[in-house]
């Protein structure tokens, strides 16, 4: 099931996305929150409605307490930036305030001259968990969405900790929705800028599997429902400029599109 979070006529709701053609998608509004038991209300709204009262705006599909991002998890990407392939997974944080949704604007920050895109498969956690054994990892996953780990590459090189380089406002686009029924082990992951392909990889190229990553991080900390794990980016990262439209597409999920603007 594809589960979207959206606003309609001043209210925020979750809905199950139904249909196949982009122009004909319908949201069946969910009663309650999708992490617990929930029911579909049967009340349906078209995603592309032009009527002001029923106009839908997709929001970030979850509001995470934290985004845990793993670095250098595709060998070719580690090499393209001149880095060693790490023996063990290593994580950093992107704060909740960095998250934006599909169609929201990435604001080019004033302290960087080298903003980069990084297409990533995002894992959404469905239940509170700690010290998760490998064989239980699938039980704590709610689903999957697309992410763009926007990075101020010049700042990342300059500063030892990546809090500013990877944690600034709008640096974590997520969406367009969460797909809950998906085998994530071998999906095409692709990124375009203004329609031209920049990144292309497969999730099967990850060095450390999703199981490895969740075992690794939950050794250290509790994950909460709605927390997001970014699983690393394939090769092909590169610059974004003001005015660019950047789109992450993951097989079986959909496309996350955002435009880059100058921070006002
Ligand atoms: Mg990344």
- Domains for the chain: give ranges and CATH numbers: 2-58 (2.30.30), 67-262 (3.90.850.10)
Report the C-alpha dihedral over residues 8, 182, 96, 4, rounded to 10 degrees.
0
Residues bordering ligand 1, an ion, CB closer than 5 Å: 118, 149, 233
Q: Where does the pLDDT of residue 51 fall: very low under 50, low under 70, confident under 90, or very high at 90 and above?
A: confident
Query: Under DSSP, is residue 148 helix (H, G, I), strand (E, B) or coil?
Result: strand
Residue 35: its pLDDT value, please? 85
How far is Cα of residue 134 from the mean position of the Cα atoms in its chain?
Answer: 23
The answer to whether residue 264 scores a pLDDT higher than 90 is no
Residue 13: its pLDDT value, please? 94
The answer to whether residue 52 scores a pLDDT higher than 80 is no
Across 73-77, 209-213, 224-228, least confident range: 73-77
**58/75 Cα distance (integer angstroms):** 34
Residue 33: its pLDDT value, please? 86
The answer to whether residue 251 scores a pLDDT higher than 80 is yes
Q: How remote is the CA of residue 244 from the centroid of ligand 1, in Å?
A: 19
| Predicted TM-score (pTM) above 0.85 | yes
**177/192 Cα distance (integer angstroms):** 19
Mean pLDDT within 125-153: 98
Q: Which of 221, 197, 200 is nearest to 125 (CA)?
A: 221
Q: How remote is the CA of residue 73 from the centroid of ligand 1, in Å?
A: 8
Q: How remote is the CA of residue 20 from the centroid of ligand 1, in Å?
A: 30
Mean pLDDT within 189-194: 98
Q: How remote is the CA of residue 74 from the centroid of ligand 1, in Å?
A: 10
Three-point CA angle 225, 253, 183, nearest 5°: 75
Q: How remote is the CA of residue 220 from the centroid of ligand 1, in Å?
A: 20
Answer for the pair 65, 11: CB distance below 8 angstroms, yes or no: no
Could you report the per-residue pLDDT of 108-125, keeping only the tens digit for each? 999 999 999 999 999 999
Could you report the per-residue pLDDT of 195-212, keeping only the tens digit for each? 999 999 999 999 999 999
* Phi and psi torsions of 220, nearest 5°: -100, -35
Q: How remote is the CA of residue 181 from the centroid of ligand 1, in Å?
A: 24
Q: Where does the pLDDT of residue 36 fall: very low under 50, low under 70, confident under 90, or very high at 90 and above?
A: confident
Residue 54: its pLDDT value, please? 80
Residue 49: its pLDDT value, please? 78
The answer to whether residue 233 scores a pLDDT higher than 90 is yes
């Amino acid at each position: 099931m594809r589960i979207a979070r959206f606003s309609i006529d001043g209210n925020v709701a979750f809905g199950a996305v139904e249909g196949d053609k982009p122009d004909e998608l319908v949201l069946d509004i969910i009663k309650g929150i999708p992490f617990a038991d929930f029911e579909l209300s049967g009340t349906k709204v078209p995603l592309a409605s032009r009527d002001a009262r029923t106009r839908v705006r997709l929001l970030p599909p979850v509001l995470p307490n934290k985004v845990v991002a793993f670095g250098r998890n595709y060998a070719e990407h580690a090499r393209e930036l001149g880095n060693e392939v790490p023996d063990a997974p290593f994580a950093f944080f992107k704060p909740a305030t960095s998250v934006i949704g599909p169609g929201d604007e990435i604001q080019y920050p004033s302290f960087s001259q080298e903003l980069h895109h990084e297409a990533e498969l995002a894992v959404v956690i469905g239940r509170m968990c700690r010290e998760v054994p490998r064989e239980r990892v699938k039980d704590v996953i709610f689903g999957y969405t697309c992410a763009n780990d926007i990075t101020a590459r010049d700042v990342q090189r300059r500063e030892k900790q990546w809090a500013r380089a990877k944690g600034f406002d709008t640096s974590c686009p997520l969406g367009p929705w969460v797909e809950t029924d998906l085998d994530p082990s071998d999906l095409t992951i692709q990124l375009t800028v203004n329609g031209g392909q920049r990144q292309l990889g497969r999730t099967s190229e990850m060095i450390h599997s999703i199981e490895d990553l969740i075992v690794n991080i939950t050794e250290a900390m509790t994950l909460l429902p709605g927390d997001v794990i970014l699983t690393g980016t394939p090769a092909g990262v590169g610059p974004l400029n003001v005015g660019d439209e950047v789109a992450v597409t993951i097989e079986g999920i959909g496309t996350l599109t955002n435009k880059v603007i100058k921070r006002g």
